[in-house]
Amino acid sequence: MISFDFTEEQQMLVDSVRRYAEREMRKSIHDMDEARQLPDGLIDKGWELGLIPSSIPEEYDGFGEHSAITGVLYAEELAWGDVSATLALLAPNLVSIPVLEYGTAEQKESLLPKFCDDEFFCATSALVEPSITFDPYNLKTKAINEDGHYILNGNKVYVPLADTANYVLVYANEDGKTQGFLVEKDTTGLQIVAREHNMGLGALPTYKVNLENCKLPATAKIGGEEGLNFERLHAYSNVALAAMAVGQAKASYEYAVEYAKDRQAFGEAIAQRQSIAFMLADMATEIDGTRLMVWETAWKLDQGENASQEATLVRRYASDMVLTVTDGSVQTLGGHGYIRDHPVEMWLRNGRGFAIFDGIAIV
Of 145, 213, 285, 306, the one binding other proteins (CB under 8 A) is 285
Cβ neighbours of residue 301 closer than 8 Å, sequence gap 6 or more = 68, 232, 235, 236, 239, 307, 311
Which burial class, exposed, middle or buried, applies to 64 when counting CB atoms under 10 A from its CB (0-12, 13-18, 19+)? middle
Of 106, 278, 334, 340, the one binding other proteins (CB under 8 A) is 278
Of 48, 292, 334, 338, the one binding other proteins (CB under 8 A) is 292
Q: How far apart are CA 256 and CA 249, in angstroms?
A: 11
Q: Is 105 in the site for other proteins (CB under 8 A)?
A: no
Cβ neighbours of residue 66 closer than 8 Å, sequence gap 6 or more = 55, 56, 97, 100, 101
Q: Which stretch binds other proteins (CB under 8 A): 41-49, 80-88, 117-125, 267-275?
A: 267-275
Minimum CB separation from other proteins for residue 356, in Å? 10
Q: Is 164 in the site for other proteins (CB under 8 A)?
A: no
Closer to other proteins at the Cβ: 198 or 308? Answer: 308
Q: Which stretch binds other proteins (CB under 8 A): 16-24, 29-37, 56-64, 257-265?
A: 257-265
Q: Is 163 in the site for other proteins (CB under 8 A)?
A: no
Of 66, 234, 250, 342, the one binding other proteins (CB under 8 A) is 234
Q: Is 263 in the site for other proteins (CB under 8 A)?
A: no
Minimum CB separation from other proteins for residue 282, in Å? 7
Closer to other proteins at the Cβ: 224 or 317? Answer: 317
Cβ neighbours of residue 263 closer than 8 Å, sequence gap 6 or more = 269, 270, 271, 333
Q: Is 277 in the site for other proteins (CB under 8 A)?
A: yes
Pairing type for strands 268-269 and 264-265 reads antiparallel
* Cβ contact 351:325 at 8 Å: yes
R_g of the chain, CA atoms, integer Å: 20
Minimum CB separation from other proteins for residue 106, in Å? 31
Q: Which amino acid is at 307?
A: A
Name the packing angle between helices 230-262 and 68-81 (round to 10°). Answer: 40
The footprint of other proteins (CB under 8 A) covers 1-7, 10, 69, 132-138, 231, 234, 257, 260-261, 271-272, 274, 277-278, 280-282, 284-286, 288-290, 292-293, 295-296, 299-300, 303, 308-310, 312-314, 316-317
